[in-house]
Structure 1
Amino acid sequence: MPRSRDWETRSGSKEIIQQLESYTEVSPSGTGYHVLIHGDLPDGRNCRGGIEMYDQSRFFTVTADHVDGTPTSINERQDALQAVHEEFVAEDDTNDEIDATGGRRDDSSQSQTLGLEDEVLLEKARSAGNGEKFDRLWRGNTSGYDSQSEADMALCCLLAFWTGGNRMQMDRLFRQSGLI
């Protein structure tokens, strides 16, 4: 398991951590890093490859396993955030196609998935810490929700996580669930 002193040798991590220059910690898995900053993400995607960037509607576990050699404070880094987003996360217009509505469609988001076959994904979701909840919803049990719509949304959110946002896989799986 990588420790905080290894960040300078991890592929791609060093450049991003140095550019963002704010509080950095080792992730709960020990295989990645969280860089916490003050700033607002530009419009567009929020993840590509192994890099994820969020500024709202997201929960994550804070480890407080500070990375040596990085600031101990959370800094305002709007310009650096925009630069890192542009270089590592933003859409590449050369991969875009026009969809049926005339808007842009970026099929590269499909490569952001975990790449799991449906059955493997379902098994992992059932084995996760919230696997009991997932399995209840998967089987069509809406207890604990005020409406069918709320239960549908809860399952969709779990499927979004496990599919990495792959809309086609989410739709296919939801149609196999007991909530359909």
Structure 2
Amino acid sequence: MADVIDVLFGCVRVEVGSGHVEVSGHALPPVVLVRAPDAAVRVGVPIGTRDASALALTVDGEPVELRPARGGLTRRSYRVAVRRGADDLLFTPSSPTTARLVRGRRYRGDNELGTFERADGSLLPARWSEDVSALGVRVAGLGPLPWEATVGYALAAAFGTGAQFFLGLLLEGSEHVSGPG
């Protein structure tokens, strides 16, 4: 269990166990993400799977649709989509160590809510977007709703943050290949 002090929502409690993540806070609705006990466990995924049929997400006790991509060579393959009623969120890697939470189904630049990062195995407080760039113009950030913030922390804890660029993976792998000679 870890407490994160969030600048907008105060103390956020993040509990990570074998196959489950629970997030709560004084000003936040509780979020629970659970892996089915019989699901195959995938190494490298904190919750243990990216299989949507083996995962259940609830916000304030109500089921929410969760669609994690499979994970592979591209950053996009590590995105996680969430739908609550008519509202969509997208959690997607934005650098090797961070992931952004956006309102909607795609990142447009003007819909970023904030970024999440893990360091030394610990989840850091979210950096909520104060302003964003839209068509080269800086505009005020959206600001997350309480349920969006709680889901963001749960996704960061369950799926991790960040992903390497594909080119970076290729270059990293090339240092282990010897040249002619």
Same fold (TM over 0.5): no
TM superposition score normalised by structure 2: 0.24
Write 1 or 2 for the structure with the bigger share of helix. 1
TM superposition score normalised by structure 1: 0.24
Higher-Rg structure is 1
Write 1 or 2 for the structure with the bigger share of strand. 2
